[in-house]
Structure 1
Amino acid sequence: MTITETPIKDLLVIEPKVWKDSRGYFYESFSARQLAAAGISTTFVQDNQSFSQKGALRGLHAQVQPFEQGKLVRVISGSVLDVAVDIRKASATYGQYYSLVLSGENHKQLWIPPGFLHGFLTLEDQTIFTYKVTNYYDKASETGVIWNDPDLGIDWNSDLSPEELLLSEKDLVLPAFKDFSSPF
């Protein structure tokens, strides 16, 4: 497993070693020992999975304390553009984002610690996205920022127009970053 730092402190890209042969492939998608060696010593309490068509945009979400969540995200099949936004007020990269393509082909994962907004855009039909979380979901602890916030300037790198994107009613009414008060 290769663990690579991103330009944003504590946000890590994880690439498992994949063994391929005529039957297909095998890899360890999770190793507590290897994550701990990289400084990620946490307990995951739940696995979540979503199935989406191309153009589904989910985010930008977080949960506030005491239900803040760290997430280990990956794609089983299909692909997404995954985005994490640093909302840790004391961070030198506050308000900056990092994005990368996660796919069933590249097997990459992203470790997103508490203190980040998270979202993704599905790039293919029938995409299966899965993630481990360090805390349970609590509806009253939800927070977020609108996906197309001009101050964040996220390049979603989509060939679809904003009108073609598939968003939930909840995600359409999230506040702007300038109106967001970070709890982190």
Structure 2
Amino acid sequence: MRCPFCHNADSRVIDSREADEGATTRRRRSCPACGRRFTTVEEAVLAVVKRNGVSEPFNRSKVVAGVRRACQGRPVDEDQLKLLAQQVEDAIRASGAAEVPSNEVGLAILGPLRELDEVAYLRFASVYRSFTSVADFEREIAELKARQSGAPPGETGPPAPRQPVPSGSSAGT
């Protein structure tokens, strides 16, 4: 780390402490050339690579803004949106990658949003997954219903009841 006073290219770490619940590291440093002390704050940068190849820092407020539009008119408050954005950031950081494609951010939003509000989830998914027909909505609604009933995806409900075989018939033999 370069000394901000004499611009010496080397410095010595005297003390390190976590700050902001572990999101940043505060280091107290000493310059061997001029002897002055200074503090640095280090933070791991998470970058999002957009479809056009441009990379920009992850921004929770962009997640909140996108989800807020999907939640318009729904019983979702600002604290819930901020918590969702935190969950999304935590999930992305857990991957360990320094750069993530923007579509992974969208995928990370879908899970927590589905739990928060199903209507907002459908709205967000319809834009994110580029729904083009009513069939796309129907398929997604069927999956939501299957999740609620505990059925595996693709099954929309309990199987149809079997018709009783009349006695004395030769059906099935």
- TM above 0.5: no
Name which structure has the greater RCO, CA cutoff 8 Å, separation 6+. 1
Higher strand share: 1
Question: Which structure has the greater CA radius of gyration?
Answer: 2
Higher helix share: 2
State TM-score, norm by structure 1: 0.24
